[in-house]
């Protein structure tokens, strides 16, 4: 079979590349080893008709008008601002830490100005924030760090905050006001009919063929194409020749509660210090679906399994650089996406990276 492009992976990276290439008249084959499109953003109805995210909760947010407008070509949107609470010492508190969190936790009645002064009094100043521990201690100090961050991070990554690059904890801001939204991006929406429906539209072109349950390693010898866009793990592409890149995995425990309309008060509740799971998400908050029952997911971090998260720390970045340098010598393959670029990318960042990669290909 003859194609201009073979795209490995039907997640955001692969689907954006396929859509752009097909729109410019190229013949594209997309293969994915899973039996569905959408990668980790895939959603579907569970056995009870509740729309769930099998690979954990996915909330779309971006500051990029360009990325939002690009995706708007394939979906309508539902306005949704995610809110998260953390279960600490038997009670629920807003996370990111804000004025409400501090007042409730310490029995105070601080104004916004007082909260700034409070944080100033507890934080441990650092010259540079190299690790995630630096980030947390220099913004909220040791007590809030232990209550909200250290245990969660240990569970999620199997590492101490001090062993992770600054960027991990820097994802979570600290606020002196009452803003309890998880994200403050300009555009915060969920695809109105779900992610999978959006992916179907992106891939719906006479120039695109999609083959599911198809592993690139198995079929690569039988497919002729001018160029490959690879969105799987970069170390796997090169047969792990420099050793395995560490990825963190998760086990998702999905549950349907048939006689409960609302399980929890916010989309997600984090459990930094209790339980083996890190968080519980109730999907109906995210999707706005009406249903007499509800479906939730608990996330249990794992060392082994599907590679969900690159692990941002110095030695891993150094190992990735070796693969990346090797990748640059392979001129007929483009590596893009969270696994191929070994970056802790959100969905919008993957879309941005794919749009950029594809520009040079078109």
Give the residue ranges of DSSP H helices in the chain: 12-23, 65-72, 99-106, 112-122, 132-144, 151-157, 166-169, 195-203, 216-219, 234-237, 283-287, 314-329, 347-361
Does 295 interact with ligand UDP (rule: CB under 6 A)? no
**What, of ligand UDP, ligand FAD, none, does residue 58 touch, CB below 5 to 8 Å by kind?**
ligand FAD
Q: Which does 246 bind (CB under 5 to 8 A by kind): ligand FAD, ligand UDP, none?
A: none
Q: Which residues inside 57-96 make contact with ligand FAD, applying CB under 6 A?
A: 57-59
* Site for ligand FAD contains 39 (CB under 6 A): yes
- DSSP-based three-state secondary structure for 228: strand
Q: Pick one of ligand FAD, ligand UDP, none as the site partner of residue 350 (Cβ within 5 to 8 A by kind).
A: ligand FAD
Smallest gap from Cβ 325 to ligand FAD, in A, equals: 21
39 vs 94, beta carbon nearer ligand FAD: 39
Q: How far is the CB of 252 from ligand FAD (least distance, A)?
A: 8
Interacting residues with ligand FAD between 5 and 34 (CB under 6 A): 8-14, 31-34
Distance between CA atoms of 29 and 22, rounded to whole angstroms? 10
Q: Which of residues 229-268 bind ligand UDP (CB under 6 A)?
A: none
Q: Is 122 left (phi over 0), alpha (psi -120 to 50) or beta?
A: alpha
Out of ligand FAD, ligand UDP, none, which partner does residue 10 contact, by CB within 5 to 8 A per kind?
ligand FAD
CB 96 within 8 A of CB 109: no
The phi and psi torsions of 144 (rounded to 5 degrees) equal: -65, -35
- Per-residue interface string for the shown chain with ligand UDP, residues 180-199, x marking contact by CB under 6 A: --------------------
In whole angstroms, give the CA distance from residue 19 to residue 24: 9
Please choose which of ligand FAD, ligand UDP, none residue 342 contacts, taking the beta carbon within 5 to 8 angstroms, the exact cut-off set by kind. Answer: none
Contacted entry of ligand FAD, ligand UDP, none for residue 86, CB cut-off 5 to 8 Å set by kind: ligand UDP
Which position's Cβ is nearest ligand FAD? 39
- Taking Cα atoms as reference points, which of 16, 52, 67, 17 lies closest to residue 186? 67
Helices (H), 254-293: 283-287
- CA-to-CA dists, residue 321 to 81, 105, 133, 136, 337, angstroms: 36, 43, 24, 27, 15
Give whichever of 138 and 196 is closer to ligand FAD, judged by the CB atom: 196
Among positions 70-89, residues that touch ligand UDP (CB under 6 A) are: 86
The yes or no reply on residue 270 touching ligand UDP (CB under 6 A) is: yes
Nearer to ligand FAD, 21 or 250 (CB): 250
Distance CA 10, CA 3 (A): 16
* Of 62, 64, 126, 119, the residue nearest 96 (C-alpha): 119
Check binding of 156 to ligand UDP (CB under 6 A).
yes
286 token code pair? 């995210």
Q: Which of positions 336-355 make contact with ligand FAD (CB under 6 A)?
A: 337-339, 345-348, 350
Q: Tokens for 170?
A: 């820097």
What letters, b where the CB count within 10 A reaches 16 and e where it falls short, cover 31-48?
bbbbeebbbbbbbeeeee
Reading the block at residue 233, the tokens are 């793990």
Q: Is 302 in the site for ligand UDP (CB under 6 A)?
A: no
* DSSP reduced 3-state for 69: helix
Name which of 144 and 355 has its Cβ closer to ligand FAD: 355
Interface ranges with ligand FAD (CB under 6 A): 8-14, 31-34, 39-41, 55-59, 215-217, 231-232, 250, 308, 337-339, 345-348, 350
Interface ranges with ligand UDP (CB under 6 A): 86, 95, 148-149, 152-153, 156, 168-169, 171-172, 270, 272
């Amino acid at each position: 079979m003859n194609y201009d492009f073979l795209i490995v992976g039907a997640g955001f990276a692969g689907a954006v590349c396929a859509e752009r290439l097909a729109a410019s008249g190229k013949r594209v084959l997309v293969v994915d080893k899973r039996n569905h499109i959408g990668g980790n953003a895939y959603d579907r109805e569970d056995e009870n008709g509740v729309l769930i995210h099998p690979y954990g909760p996915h909330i779309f947010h971006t500051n990029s008008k360009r990325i939002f407008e690009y995706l708007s070509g394939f979906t309508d949107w539902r306005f949704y601002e995610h809110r998260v609470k953390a279960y600490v010492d038997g009670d629920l508190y807003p996370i990111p830490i804000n004025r409400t969190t501090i007042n409730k936790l310490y029995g105070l009645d601080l104004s916004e100005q007082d909260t700034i002064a409070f944080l100033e009094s507890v934080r441990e100043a650092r010259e540079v924030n190299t690790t995630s521990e630096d980030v947390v201690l220099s913004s909220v100090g040791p007590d809030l760090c232990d209550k909200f961050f250290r245990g969660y991070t240990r569970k999620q990554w199997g590492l101490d905050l001090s062993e992770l690059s600054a960027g991990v904890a820097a994802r979570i801001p600290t606020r002196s006001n009452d803003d309890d939204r998880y994200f403050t991006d300009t555009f915060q929406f969920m695809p109105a009919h779900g992610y999978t429906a959006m992916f179907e539209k992106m891939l719906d072109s006479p120039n695109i063929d999609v083959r599911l349950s198809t592993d690139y390693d198995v079929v690569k010898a039988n497919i002729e194409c001018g160029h490959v866009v690879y969105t799987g793990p970069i170390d796997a592409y090169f047969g792990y020749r420099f050793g395995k890149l560490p990825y963190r995995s998760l086990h998702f425990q999905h549950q349907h509660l048939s006689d409960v309309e609302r399980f929890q008060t916010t989309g997600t509740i984090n459990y930094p210090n209790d339980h083996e799971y890190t968080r519980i998400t109730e999907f109906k908050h995210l999707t706005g679906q009406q249903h007499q029952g509800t479906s939730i997911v608990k996330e249990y971090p794992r060392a082994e399994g599907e590679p969900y998260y690159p692990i941002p720390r110095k030695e891993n970045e150094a190992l990735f650089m070796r693969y990346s340098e090797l990748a640059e010598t392979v001129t007929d393959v483009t590596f893009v996406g969270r696994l191929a670029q070994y970056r802790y990318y959100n969905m919008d960042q993957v879309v941005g990276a794919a749009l950029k990669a594809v520009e040079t290909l078109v």
